[in-house]
Structure 1
Amino acid sequence: MKNYLDLVSISAKKNRRKNTMTIICIVLAVFLVSAIFGMADMEIRSQKIQIIKDEGNWHYGFNVDQSDAEMISLRPDVKSSGLYSQMLENQGYLIGDKKISIVGMDKEPFENIFDLKIVEGKYPENDDEILISENAKRGLKSSIGDSVILSSPSGGAINFTVVGFMESTSLNLADDFYGAWLTSNSFAKNITEGVKQSKFLVQFSPYSNMKKNLSEIKDSYNLSDSQVEGNTKLLGILGQSDHNYALQLYTVAFVLFVLVMLSGIIMITNSLNTNVIQRTEFFGLMRCLGATDKQVMKFVRKEALNWCKIAIPIGVLMSVVVVWALCGVLRFASPRYFSEMPIFGVSVVGIVLGVVVGVLTVLLAAQSPAKKASKVSPLMAIRGNANNIKAVKKAANTKLFNVETALGIEHAKSNKKNFILMVSSFSLSIILFLAFSSIIDFMNHGVKPIRPSSPDFSIISRENSLINVDLVRELEEIKGVKKVYGLMNDSDITAVINNREVEISLNSYEKNRINWAKRDLLKGSLSDVENGGVLIVKDRENAFKVGDSVNLKVNGNIFDLKVVGLLSSADLYSEQEILICSEDTFKKLTGKSGYSVIDIQFNRDVTDGDIEEIHEIAGEYVDYSDLREGKSEAKGAYYSMLLFIYGFIAVISLITVFNINNSVSMSVSARTKQYGFMRAVGMSDKQLLKMVASETLTYSIVGSIVGCAVGVTINKYLFKNMVTAYWGTPWTLPLTEISVIVLIVIGASIVAIYSPYNRIKKMSIVETIRAE
């Protein structure tokens, strides 16, 4: 041994078991930070994938002439660019009897900018070639090489040869129109009627300063703000706009990062303090051999950093595995949406910050123990009295509790600073848990595709026509169909309430919809709907309320109805007041028996053949809306955010469990000699257990009370502002969430008692009194 610091490795081998808890604390701190930022990274990746699928991978679009466009494309910071021209589906162009959205763009920018897959064939290269969507292929029964006729608004006909089929977008399928792509030259030559939109799309290098690039282009070509359009969603997720989604998400992650670092510092400081106290004689001997205060402090810091060599790689590896698991779950939960997300994705940001927080936390946590070790008097250390016990000023209260329980409570309260710190630590976990749980309520209300009534496919009646109710039974026989439910609708009905006339939209609910409405019922009863009552939907300015009698004027007849229930929301849209009744009541009031819409939910094994069968049965005099793609995209966004939020809640739970376990272990270790004295004067093992348990449960019970009081207040505030304000759902006490987190706190406290208790119980009385 050439240097006193070489003792670090020797000490680490000898005190391996004592160092385990400290290493676990460092591993936990690194893991939690890496996992937090890893989850944030995964959420940003998923949002970026969705935006590129929906909007395209371009950053700015410019309204410039061809010569300026060519000059912009030559800039070194431009990765890809191209002219994009569009004719919307409402401009009167048709293929067959279907509306069509036509886009003009050349092959290279299409492949670089738009995330649309060509499922068969190739992209058009000549002026007479066309690429059409898959739903057009099915509707036209077309193949590659076939000729299709594009009808213009004035009645002209343009012939194209089909060279490929691209995947249908969620908008194509939902609004039941075809999509088509042409070359830029073909679009300019053939699409001459109606209002066209053209812009030169630019995709900058991902590491360039896009705001600066935009400013330079605007100045160079004298462009006004009206000549520039930004892909605001993508720019926001990339952190290149004022609406910085990534920054907001990382801000949330940073707040948790700070909380985790503080918790880590507390845990590691407690662990190091105990470690130093247990090795008082060792540091005293170092002082006897001539070590200075600074050398002892340097030794403690070096020892702490030495633990990082083991702890940091383990923590980082654990976080990487968690990120992999998240990517795998997202791909399994929504394969359409997350098909391109790599299962073995690695968050570099998470790893770097995990390493930084590991080292930084250890250095900050080592300050106090290092100073304490350096101040150990050689004489006091050798005599074993470095950890002086403070004099007791007040005896424990044994009137309400037995002696061992009263002593445990007194131990908890004896150090006010420590008591406040422990209670705050316990309560902070509960507050964060209850605050984040309100975000889940917001998501469950806001994302309609996850609602049980959300359809996968809809058949919609055309103007002045209705769909025969017998069609429902025929559709139910199709193999891939899970549920079929219709909706009857009649608008512009006059209702009289309190001598005031109101225009309403009357809608029917059959048994499936009535059953699903149970979760949305705010007031009243659904059972009375079958008896002629009507439901209303929560609005900011409801004309009716539960219990009102309503007079409806329908076809010259007047009907008296009663409002029997209020729903927080419904899968209906109308600018008029919405009333909902049963199918029998609707038929009685209006005399109509046909459906305006038939909604269908599919089984997992539904095929394109089943969709074709639906088209054959329903016929060509109705419109179709395939909502599967959009529903899948929305579910993907929901699942990614849900994993993000539940991940934070899991992190909070982990902080709670390990902090409690570590705090209890450190507290018991610090009082080992006291417990030895108590055992020496006759305290039994059972009484010792009760004393340790009462001290620990004092922290957890008081922390739970404080945490629940503050957490419930915050939960109520967030719920009212995020949910009640928009959907009308009243706040209720989150008993489930409270029960879960309180059980976690108390359960972790009980489990944490046994390890240090068993350790002391196995030691002889002499060993506990002489414990380092």
Structure 2
Amino acid sequence: MLRATLKSLLARKVRLVLSMLAVVVGVSFVTGTLVLTDTLNRTFDTLFADINKNVSVAVRAVNQIDPSSDNGRPPLPATVLPALARVDGVRAAVGSVSGQAVLVDPRTGKAADGGGAPGIGTNWTGGQPTASEQIAEGRAPGPGEIVVDRATARSMHLALGTRIVVQTKGPPGTYTLVGTFRVAGQDSVGGAAVTAFDTATAQRVLLAPNEFSAVHLAAAPGIGQEQLRARVAAVLPGGVEAITGKQLADENAGAVQQAIRGFSTFLLIFAAISVFVGAFIIFNTFTMLVAQRVRELALLRAIGASRRQVQLSLQVEAAMVGFAGATAGLVVGAGLALLLRAAVGAFGVSLPGGSLVFSPRTIVVAYAVGVVITSVAAFVPARKAASVPPVAAMRETYVLPSRSLRLRAISGFALSTLGVLLLVLGTASAGKSGATSVGVGAAAIFLGVATLSPLLSGPVIRVLGTPFVSMFGTTGRLGRENAMRNPRRTASTASALMIGLALVSAFAILGQSIKESVRATVTDSLGADFYLSAKGFGQGFSGQVARDLAGKPGIDTATGLRGGLAKVDGSSVQLLAGDPAGLLKVLAIKKVSGDIHALGDRTILVEDGVAADHHFTVGQKIRVAFPDGSEDLTLVGTYKKSQVAGSWIISTAQYARHTPDDLDLFVLVKRADGASPAAVRAQIDAVVKPFATVEVRDQSEFVAQQEKQVDQLLGFIYVLLALAVVIALFGIVNTLALSVIERTREIGLLRAVGMSRGQMRAMVVMESTIISVFGAVLGVAVGSVFGWALTRALEGQGITAFAYPASTIIVVILIGVLLGILAAVFPARRAARMDVLRAISTA
């Protein structure tokens, strides 16, 4: 039986390749994602281990909100340095300063592009026992001088002696470039532009005079990291901690790896979609192969093969196809990982060199996906093959019996009903749980509709095929009848396409709804005329901008918005901080109780629903934990839910008391009554000109920029979903190719009675197009329901409007038509080229 299985596979090489394609694409996506994740993880593990290899112990203030995060971590006074240097076993104690510093390209006047990586400022400690940086060209910086990482200097074409503007938390300063450096043997730290000042300058522009972000200690010979950490911890005051150099490296790498894990999970979701679609194709392929090999299977039964042997033979064949597809998928996945890593580099993130990482987990997962999915998808066709009676070998007209669609209708209806109930539950729930319920419900509806699609295919295809009959007569009628001939096969092929196009439709609806929500939010919740933000995602800019704009002619209000994490009742919350006088003018905050205008020192405003959940009342003291400690703030007012303001508001002065940063995320400007918008814009442009990272937009430009970000994300999602659509395209090609082989004699007879080659090609193209349009129509219908439910479930996240992108949906259906035409090229050509006499004589 094994020899027979192998011969059967090798005798049908084209079918083998077509069957493998779905496996290869799905496995390569999974493999590429895992390889890229493992490679990036090892890259940053090695990088941060090398950067901190000379640090035995790091001393820093405790971050009360997130112990491993440096965001908001309070600084250390420089007076701790001599005390730490006297600890037994400390060879050297070196103060470290870090903060945000953005280089301004002297040629263009624009900020250095780090591809999303932040601009980092630090003090130069090269030559110290704890340092890992070395001068590459030039020398170390002195007052009024800087050195930058070698990769940034090369990308910006900076020559030594160049005068460069650097943006920090205060007004921009101009410095002379006197050197470039490497860090741990690398030209770049993950693509970030790193600027190093002398220590006194770094303290002044990044923190404050006589302050350090941390102190790094080098151990004397023979002293281990844990041993030195214990000695140092014994002399530290409260609120200060000591960690080992290894812990520091692990924390630094962990922050990056957390982002990598999120990106990896995102990619694996789409990989799972591709595998799911591939399962439909594999099932369809093996069902058709079994139908075409009825006499062969019957002969095996007639010469003594048992049912179990026949089924096992088909399962082994499927496993071999899966194994071969997984092997090819591993190779293709490695290439995909290289492409993804190159894409990361194209965005300006310079990664340290190194080979790809193929962990045992990746190989196991690749073969598990390939072999298991293929074997499971082929189980039902294999069981059907085992049911072929030996007597069928003597009857040319024997066909496999089809079960009633009644059971299919019941199960499909049950799955669809379950999916609808989960969608309803998801739309009634808020936040992540609601979105999860909608996602599970959508999957159930996909399966339910796919199960019901054989019942739908007849009447729907009859309607969809009518225009072809009207335009092409008999040829169009034959194409329609061929699409209706085998409802299960047509439904399975269309369902694979349905999933991809349904997700495209759903995300198109979600994206359009987000855009509409942004427009509504800006109109209803923001009262600003101009919006200032930094170019880099999540990066801030100097609070000096808002201070410089205040009081300028034609400007009524210019208020900066900033914020960060805090804790209330043990839970993390996001604070918004702003100037109390200007905040209420630019944000449409509606009072519920108390006096929202009383916001000031040691006070707080809370959204009324959140206040009710915590049982807070106006006048009550609320204990708020900041990174540097806790403080009691008086609740002076509550307000209605705001998509912009969030749930917790304090004053900028209150926030600044607990953070060393003076960075705004946004500045909102409201012009005075009667002031010319053009004149006010000119005033703003003049103020922000020295701040190269700041972008100025009016209300319409701000909305357009938010919409552009949505379009960019949707474009990325569409590219990932395109893989699932490509698999579905392979499925249509596969189905048509096998169908042409199955109908060889029929095709010969049609040619014999006068059908031309052109008519034959047209018939196959029409069959393919009708099947594709059927899948597209199903996809748009299911995707519309899914998109609506997802929009409703995310209402609490700021998606307050539902919008239906009719033009995009029409494009989705047209894509279905195009896919049908493309998928028919190879099968139609094969059908038209058949030798008529040989085709007629085929059994």
TM-score range, shorter chain: 0.5 to 0.7
Tell me the distance in 1 between the aligned counterparts of 2:92 and 2:327.
44
- TM-score, normalised by the number of residues in structure 1: 0.55
Determine the structure 1 residue equivalent to 2:4: 7
The answer (yes or no) to whether the contact 1:461–1:596 under 8 Å persists in 2 is: no
For 1:14, give the aligned amino acid: A
**Of the candidates 595, 598, 601, which is equivalent to residue 689 of structure 2?**
598
For 1:368, give the aligned amino acid: V
Tell me the distance in 1 between the aligned counterparts of 2:94 and 2:750.
80
Tell me the distance in 1 between the aligned counterparts of 2:690 and 2:398.
78
CA 1:493–1:44: 2 relative to 1, 3 Å: farther
Determine the structure 1 residue equivalent to 2:378: 366
Find out whether 1:265 has 2:336 as its counterpart.
Answer: no
Q: How does 1:603-642 map to 2 (within 5 A)?
A: none
Find out whether 1:25 has 2:29 as its counterpart.
Answer: no
Task: Report SS of the residue matched to 2:59.
Answer: strand
Give a deviation string over 1:294-315, Cα, whole Å, max 9, x none. 2222322333333345332211
The answer (yes or no) to whether the contact 1:86–1:198 under 8 Å persists in 2 is: yes
CA 1:640–1:253: 2 relative to 1, 3 Å: same
CA 1:453–1:339: 2 relative to 1, 3 Å: closer
Find out whether 1:405 has 2:409 as its counterpart.
Answer: no
Tell me the distance in 2 between the aligned counterparts of 1:438 and 1:84.
51
Tell me the distance in 2 between the aligned counterparts of 1:764 and 1:368.
34
Determine the structure 2 residue equivalent to 1:201: 243
Determine the structure 2 residue equivalent to 1:327: 341
Q: CA deviation at 1:594?
A: 10
Determine the structure 2 residue equivalent to 1:748: 819
Tell me the distance in 1 between the aligned counterparts of 2:203 and 2:755.
77
Q: How does 1:229-628 map to 2 (within 5 A)?
A: 234=254, 255-335=269-349, 338-340=350-352, 342=354, 344-346=356-358, 349-387=361-399, 401=470, 402-436=473-507, 488-490=549-551, 504-505=557-558, 539=587, 541=589, 578-580=669-671, 585=676, 595-601=686-692
Task: Report SS of the residue matched to 1:121.
Answer: coil
For 1:201, give the aligned amino acid: I
Q: How does 1:102-141 map to 2 (within 5 A)?
A: 121-124=126-129, 137=141, 139-141=143-145
Higher deviation after alignment, 302-311 or 319-328: 302-311
Determine the structure 2 residue equivalent to 1:654: 726
Task: Report SS of the residue matched to 1:490.
Answer: coil
CA 1:429–1:411: 2 relative to 1, 3 Å: same
Higher deviation after alignment, 81-90 or 693-702: 81-90
Q: CA deviation at 1:330?
A: 0.7
**Computing the radius of gyration over CA atoms, which structure comes out larger, 1 or 2?**
1
Tell me the distance in 2 between the aligned counterparts of 1:590 and 1:661.
58
Determine the structure 1 residue equivalent to 2:60: 85
Q: Percentage identity across aligned positions?
A: 18
Q: CA deviation at 1:319?
A: 0.7
Determine the structure 2 residue equivalent to 1:627: none
Determine the structure 1 residue equivalent to 2:773: 701
Tell me the distance in 2 between the aligned counterparts of 1:107 and 1:652.
59
CA 1:463–1:663: 2 relative to 1, 3 Å: closer
For 1:490, give the aligned amino acid: G
For 1:84, give the aligned amino acid: V
CA 1:383–1:542: 2 relative to 1, 3 Å: same
CA 1:42–1:109: 2 relative to 1, 3 Å: farther
Tell me the distance in 2 between the aligned counterparts of 1:358 and 1:117.
49
Task: Report SS of the residue matched to 1:334.
Answer: coil
Gaps of 5+ in 2: 63-71, 99-119, 148-180, 184-193, 220-227, 403-457, 522-530, 561-583, 592-643, 646-662, 694-708
Give a deviation string over 1:480-513, Cα, whole Å, max 9, x none. xxxxxxxx44389997xxxxxxxx3389xxxxxx
Determine the structure 2 residue equivalent to 1:160: none
Give a deviation string over 1:687-743, Cα, whole Å, max 9, x none. 333332332222222322332244345446656876996598x76554675466445
CA 1:575–1:755: 2 relative to 1, 3 Å: closer
The answer (yes or no) to whether the contact 2:500–2:725 under 8 Å persists in 1 is: yes
Tell me the distance in 2 between the aligned counterparts of 1:142 and 1:682.
84
Tell me the distance in 1 between the aligned counterparts of 2:787 and 2:204.
37
Task: Report SS of the residue matched to 2:378.
Answer: helix
CA 1:425–1:16: 2 relative to 1, 3 Å: closer
Q: CA deviation at 1:333?
A: 1.7
Q: CA deviation at 1:351?
A: 3.6
Tell me the distance in 1 between the aligned counterparts of 2:41 and 2:717.
13
Gaps of 5+ in 1: 59-79, 144-163, 207-229, 239-244, 467-487, 496-503, 508-535, 544-567, 603-636
Q: CA deviation at 1:273?
A: 2.9
Higher deviation after alignment, 677-686 or 171-180: 171-180
The answer (yes or no) to whether the contact 2:36–2:341 under 8 Å persists in 1 is: no
For 1:260, give the aligned amino acid: S
CA 1:259–1:203: 2 relative to 1, 3 Å: farther
RMSD: 6.4
Alignment: residue pair count? 562
For 2:351, give the aligned amino acid: S
For 1:698, give the aligned amino acid: I
The answer (yes or no) to whether the contact 2:504–2:718 under 8 Å persists in 1 is: no
